[in-house]
Amino acid sequence: MKKILVLILALTMMVGVASAELKVAFSQIGQESDWRTANTDDVKKAIVDAGWELIYDDAQQKQENQVKALRNFITQGVDYIVFTAIVTTGWDDVLAEVKEAEIPLILIDRLPETSFGNDDWYTCYFGGDFPFEGYKAGMWVKNYFESIGHKGDINIVRLSGTTGSDPQIGRTKGFDEVVAANPNMKIVYDQTGNFTRAEGQAVMEAALKAVPKIDVLWAENDDMALGAIEAIKAAGKVPGKDIIIIGCDAVKAAFEAIVAGEMNATSECTPLMGARVVEVIKGLEAGQTFDKVVHPVEYVYDMNGGIVIDDDGNVSLKAADHINERLY
Ligand code: GYE
């Protein structure tokens, strides 16, 4: 009798342990930038620290690899899928399969678009408000040039992110709103640098040859801005002075460039999403529901602070005052 009781107790404990062990799969797009590295590390660590099994896939910038990874997660019978979509479109089939398999889909960073006509195919999304990030960057340019008493045209080179990705589409749209409202702001060169330093540098080299007068570089991420700084130096110009440079992300390397006077500003986008992922999974396990879309609070950091960056009169913060808080 006693033996049987012990056996039952042992079995119950084993079942208990087994069900506590969740399999959490994460499909990442690649490793194109400092932002991405921080994002990968943070999300992976949070899942592992929560005591769950992590199944990780790096798609090396290929949508077809992400599709394969998602199908693979389904076959493995994972409990949750964490997903950021390299580009917005082309996911209908595979996301219908995820839904069919009843695996809760947690979206982070880049939102995919579907033609399902509803939003019950995903649990919730956490990521940057990309149009607002672009808008704040545009407002910073406008108000910075006003603050220095600049009159006349502002010639802007745009290095855009991966074409068709959520942040590229959103940041372009937000910045263009400010351009449309301010006819002196002129986009004189506009090309993708795919969110990488190497391409940022190469495209800036080409822009410097093609455009006689460049006042501003707006790079849709900091890595491209940092690559472009090298091209600007190589062309014998002084980055941060001859050409005003604003990036996006607010990674530590951009803060360092701002403090060194080689870059002027960066519109923040946080890569730290691990805590939110864990919070959501724990909540879902407990039967909670979540708001579909949540954006973190984000700032613009620059050389001196005090430049108006939105319609509510919020101002930029001085990067030097915040550089020590940057974790990535
Ligand atoms: O800005 C860029 C990265 O999707 C928000 O992707 C992210 C972007 C980020 O490569 O640096």
Instruction: Look at the block and give the residue holding tokens 């090298």.
Output: 230
Residue 310: phi, psi to the nearest 5? -150, 180
Residue 67: phi, psi to the nearest 5? -60, -45
Q: Verify whether ligand 1 is closer than 6 Å to residue 247 (CB atom).
A: no
Instruction: Look at the block and give the residue holding tokens 């959520």.
Output: 166
The answer to whether residue 307 scores a pLDDT higher than 80 is yes
Cα–ligand 1 centroid distance for 63 (angstroms): 16
Q: Which atom, in ligand 1's list, is nearest to the CA of 110?
A: 4
The average pLDDT across 247-257 equals 98
How does pLDDT run across 58-115, given as a tens digit for each residue? 999 999 999 999 999 999 999 999 999 999 999 999 999 999 999 999 999 999 999 9
Nearest CA to ligand 1 atom 8: 167
How does pLDDT run across 146-190, given as a tens digit for each residue? 999 999 999 999 999 999 999 999 999 999 999 999 999 999 999
pLDDT of residue 25: 98
Please provide the DSSP assignment of 305-327 as one string. ---B-STT--B-EEHHHHGGG--
Q: What's the one-letter identity of residue 97?
A: E
The average pLDDT across 129-142 equals 98
Mean pLDDT rounded to a whole number for the chain: 95
The answer to whether residue 270 scores a pLDDT higher than 70 is yes
The answer to whether residue 7 scores a pLDDT higher than 60 is no
SS3 243: strand
pLDDT of residue 5: 45
Percent of the chain with pLDDT over 90: 94
pLDDT of residue 10: 47
**Ordered alpha helix ranges (H), 164-298:** 166-181, 197-210, 222-234, 252-259, 274-285
Q: Verify whether ligand 1 is closer than 6 Å to residue 221 (CB atom).
A: yes
Q: How far is CA 57 from CA 73, 104, 207, 286, in A?
A: 10, 17, 36, 27
Q: What's the one-letter identity of residue 123?
A: T
Are the beta carbons of 61 and 30 closer than 8 angstroms?
A: yes
Strands (E), the chain: 23-28, 53-58, 80-83, 105-108, 124-126, 154-160, 185-192, 216-219, 244-249, 265-268, 293-294, 300-302, 317-318
What is the Cα–Cα distance from 169 to 141, expressed in whole angstroms? 19
- Of 36, 60, 222, 273, the one to substitute when testing ligand 1's pocket (max ligand atoms within 8 A of C-beta) is 36
The average pLDDT across 259-271 equals 98
Q: Verify whether ligand 1 is closer than 6 Å to residue 195 (CB atom).
A: yes
Cα–ligand 1 centroid distance for 86 (angstroms): 10
pLDDT of residue 189: 98
Q: Verify whether ligand 1 is closer than 6 Å to residue 193 (CB atom).
A: no
How does pLDDT run across 109-128, given as a tens digit for each residue? 999 999 999 999 999 999 99
The average pLDDT across 21-41 equals 97
Q: Verify whether ligand 1 is closer than 6 Å to residue 110 (CB atom).
A: yes
Q: Verify whether ligand 1 is closer than 6 Å to residue 134 (CB atom).
A: no
What is the Cα–Cα distance from 295 to 269, expressed in whole angstroms? 10
The answer to whether residue 16 scores a pLDDT higher than 70 is no
Q: Verify whether ligand 1 is closer than 6 Å to residue 267 (CB atom).
A: no
pLDDT of residue 9: 45
Are the beta carbons of 115 and 93 closer than 8 angstroms?
A: no
- The residues near 192 (Cβ < 8 Å, ≥ 6 apart) are 159, 160, 161, 162, 163, 168, 199, 203
The average pLDDT across 128-140 equals 98
- pLDDT-based confidence at residue 8 (cuts at 50, 70, 90): very low
Q: Verify whether ligand 1 is closer than 6 Å to residue 109 (CB atom).
A: yes
Residue 217: phi, psi to the nearest 5? -110, 120
pLDDT of residue 182: 98
The whole model's pTM is what?
0.94
**What's the gap between Cα 265 and its chain centre?**
17
- pLDDT-based confidence at residue 20 (cuts at 50, 70, 90): low
How does pLDDT run across 43-58, given as a tens digit for each residue? 999 999 999 999 999 9
- pLDDT-based confidence at residue 263 (cuts at 50, 70, 90): very high
Q: What's the one-letter identity of residue 183?
A: P
Q: Which domains does the chain have, with CATH numbers?
A: 2-127+272-294 (3.40.50.2300), 130-270+299-325 (3.40.50.2300)
User: Whats the size of the chain, residue-wise?
Assistant: 328
Q: Verify whether ligand 1 is closer than 6 Å to residue 34 (CB atom).
A: no
